[in-house]
Structure 1
Amino acid sequence: MFDDRSPIYRQIADQVKDDVLRGVLGAGQQVMSTNQYAAHYRINPATAAKAFQQLVDEGVIYKRRGVGMFVADGARDRLRTERRERFFTEVVGPMLAEAHALGIPVADIVAHLQRHDPPGDSR
């Protein structure tokens, strides 16, 4: 599950965020405890705790003392908004700059995307 591209705690936090975005974890749903997560993935509990603290700080999950960690209301929408903004900044912006350098009109890009848009996918 883990690779060398970034610290394990970030990979854990990213996985939880991905689960929230995909609807695997819904608002109000309890997530594994740090100890359960550490045991399941055979990692140091402090690493799992650091990931979960990051998620709390970002408002993705919240703690209920003595009960556990839960997905925050609105977390999916906030994550989607953040990812969309990052997509336009990190993917679309550089793509448009490259298209401009190559003399590709934006209309050609739009037409190409529309030809490859999966049917019924109007998110």
Structure 2
Amino acid sequence: MKNHLDDNKPIFLQIKEQLEDSIINDTIKAGERVPSTNEFAAFYKINPATAAKGINELVTEDILYKRRGVGMFVTENAKDILIEKRKQTFYENFILPLKEEAKKLRISETDLMKMMGSVKSSMKSP
């Protein structure tokens, strides 16, 4: 868990995103238990209902499932679901605006791809 929360974003979303990130980067794996609402509440000194809201959204999205009396656990397909969701968000938030700006600047798709290739090759380690 992060040591602090950001004041610029709703707390329940930050908790949800923390769990999503932990699943994507394999800190929490399929079948593993996630921190409870009470654990989040105690750690961040927040209302358990706030933590529950973020966790319940992940249940609705089939990322987590509840085992009565035991806790919340990561579903088998959680990582794949999250990666696909993030890819779509990446496309909408970055690729589409990039293409629109390129169009305004009269940068052809070929030139744009060349630019992307040069970025890719400059990111490689020597």
TM-score with structure 2 setting the length: 0.87
Who is 1:16 aligned against?
A: 19
Who is 1:34 aligned against?
A: 37
Aligned residue pairs: how many? 120
Gaps of 5+ in 2: none
Name segments (4+ residues, structure 1) moved above 3 Å: none
Partners of 2:37 and 2:113 in 1: how far apart?
45
Who is 2:68 aligned against?
A: 65
Q: Is 1:43–2:43 an aligned residue pair?
A: no
TM-score with structure 1 setting the length: 0.89
Q: CA deviation at 1:4?
A: 2.8
CA RMSD between the two structures: 1.5
Q: Is 1:106–2:112 an aligned residue pair?
A: no
Gaps of 5+ in 1: none
CA deviation map 1:52-104 (0-9, x unaligned): 11111111111000111111111110111111112112210111011011011
Partners of 2:111 and 2:100 in 1: how far apart?
14
Secondary structure at 1:112's aligned position in 2?
A: helix
Q: 1:37 corresponds to which letter in structure 2?
A: F
Secondary structure at 2:73's aligned position in 1?
A: strand
Q: CA deviation at 1:26?
A: 0.9
Partners of 1:74 and 1:16 in 2: how far apart?
14
Who is 2:7 aligned against?
A: 4
